[in-house]
Homo-oligomer: A and B are copies of this chain.
Amino acid sequence: MLRLTKKADYGLMALKYLAEHPETPALSAKDVADAYGIPAQLLAKILQRLTKTGLLRSHAGMNGGYALARDPRQISAFEVIRAIDGPLFITSCTKGTKACELTPSCTIKEPLARVNETIAGVLKSISIQDLAEQEHAAGKAREAHGLVALTP
């Protein structure tokens, strides 16, 4: 169906891991990478991007590393994915600046954009905290359904 990039997956995993270790002041990219067995350098770049978008705080030097910039309840999966994968949309056309050349003829775009909004809404309703304690994630998502604005 719809695929999330591995980078975004890694990013979510890392944030979840950070959320699970709130006592430590900071964890290095290598620490997290080793914990999950994912490429350290790649994860480092991902965490750097998350830092640049303000989701993480970084600290160089010995015993440095990354820490969540906010409460894990205040960070949504949506933000993470958007920060890493960029603002892509479900319609293969509406990608950033230039619109699809056959936009006028394609009448499918509009309803699908609405679907996109729904998905974004669900993703926004899931916080890193929810991932850390998986049990509540489902409930959270169900709640959010009423909140998603589908009507223009």
Contacts and interface: CB of A to CB of B under 8 A. Distances in A.
A111 B126 contact: yes
B1 A116 contact: yes
B92 A115 contact: no
A138 B152 contact: yes
A148 interface: yes
Nearest to A105: B36
A102 B141 CA distance: 26
Interface string A5-19: 110010011001000
A1 B120 contact: yes
Contacts of A152: 138
A9 B119 contact: no
A87 interface: yes
A40 interface: no
Contacts of A45: none
A3 B90 contact: yes
A76 B81 CA distance: 27
A19 to B, nearest CB: 11
A106 B2 contact: no
Nearest to A14: B108
Contact of A142 (B120, B138, B151): B151
Given A9-B93, A106-B9, A134 B111 contact: yes
Given A3-B95, A138-B152, 4 more contacts: A1-B85, A9-B92, A111-B134, A111-B138
